[in-house]
Structure 1
Amino acid sequence: MNEDLTTLRKIVQKTNTDVINQLHNLDERDRFYLLIEHMEYLGFPFEEAEVCVVPKLKK
């Protein structure tokens, strides 16, 4: 379970960074909608979400 929480924490940090970076490319109305959509995603119970985890590929 600890590994799941670590993975979840990394996902949230990465998506937050991606959203913030994307805000620079949008007009103010689209920024608002992107932030609202992202907050809804963050507020959704993790246990109920369908999460596809792709295993790391060996080089």
Structure 2
Amino acid sequence: MGGRQGNDCVEVAHTADGGRAVRDSKNRDGGLQFYASEGWAAFVDGVKAGAFTR
């Protein structure tokens, strides 16, 4: 996004409770972050609204 050609990649997976698990695809042993469905939805809404642009 934003015209950048970077090498930053993440993997996102659905969890059994409707949330999401996120990890760095280049550092798979680096651990996971878990987000409840409400938190993930708020994050996605923020991305769509441009809340994380510089």
- Smaller-chain TM-score bracket: 0.3 to 0.5
- Rg: which structure is higher? 1
Higher relative contact order, chain-length normalized (CA < 8 Å, sep 6+): 1
- Whichever structure has more strand as a proportion of its residues is 2
Q: TM-score, normalised by structure 2?
A: 0.33
- Whichever structure has more helix as a proportion of its residues is 1
